[in-house]
Amino acid sequence: MRVLITGIAGFIAHHIVEDILKNTNWEIVGLDRLDTSGNLNRLTDIEIWEKEKRRVRFIWNDIRAPINEYIKKEIGNVDIILHVAASTHVDRSIENPMEFVMDNVVGTTNLLEYARKIPNLKRFFYFSTDEVFGSAPKGILHKEWSGYNSGNPYAASKAGGEEMCLAFANTFKLPVLITHTMNVFGERQHPEKFIPMTIRKVLKGETVIIHADKSKTKAGSRFYIHARNVAAAVRFVLDKGTIGEKYNIVGEKEVDNLTLARFIAEVVGKPLKYKMVDFHSSRPGHDLRYALDGARLKKMEWELPKNFKESMRQTIQWNLKPENKKWILL
């Protein structure tokens, strides 16, 4: 098997690479343009890299432009495409929506155009997000085919890419699989994300901003999931999933961000300084709660390899090691 992974130098994709190298004999071709979040040091930093790097080939490419004949030749034949590349930061999408349209809608369409001409392609895997469904009121869990209600340009651009995948599946019979994933954490995450940012601020004694409701008493919540669990779920869906279907990859339990920040401070061993901010009213486009229904994968007997608390503790401790503090900009 030969798999093409877009955004290979990104946070989630490099964990997928690690999972494939550990659990299969597949060869990997990776595309990345190495800009805001792409960092090839993620790949060289994984434990198994030196032993298995011969199975990985990197090609610099920006999918905002159509994949040309030279790049096609460089990629060669592939059996599976894992489209993980995306612009993902909500704040940046609010500041520059068109950048996200280009990356997540146009880029996805360029990749689909390339994919539909590959003979005998087994799977085109699109990595989507829970945010396409918008905010989830208390008690609501969005199912795979729930209606879109994007709360910001990032979410809308991911929904647009998702719809293009379905259009290519319906029009060209492309073997599409789609997953929605909730907030992912783990080693080597971009320092702008909440968990590495909170670790850094606790270590430096700075104030952590907690997004809250209008009363500034209820913190926003998420179903956090470790990137290794996500990578294992991706491999599971590739093996067990039905072409043309969608699957939610859901964390073990819902955790509000104040509780999470307190847990981080506890593991770090320093006091937490925090401020509750009605961020969602002052900055439209941010949702207080996201939630997915994970019943479908559970019915297929998918189980998380590691639980939330163990995964989170290990991630915090990993970031505290002197050799790893560079990943949280310390």
- Residues with a known catalytic role: 130-131, 154
Torsion angle, alpha carbons of 150, 91, 264, 262, to 10? -70
CA distance 90 to 219: 18
Phi then psi for residue 100, to 5 deg, are -75, -35
Query: Measured between alpha carbons, how far is 305 from 303 in angstroms, rounded to an integer?
Result: 6
Nearest to 288 by CA among 298, 277, 296: 277
Q: How far apart are CA 233 and CA 51, in angstroms?
A: 24
**Cα–Cα distance for residue pair 266/169, rounded to 1 Å:** 48
Q: Are 324 and 315 in contact (CB under 8 A)?
A: no
CA dist 126 and 124 (Å) reads 7
Cα–Cα distance, 312 to 276 (Å, whole number)? 22
Are the C-beta atoms of residues 142 and 291 closer than 8 Å to each other? yes
Burial of 118 (0-12, 13-18, 19+ CB in 10 A): middle
Q: What is the DSSP string of 173-197?
A: ---EEEEEE--EE-TT--TTSHHHH
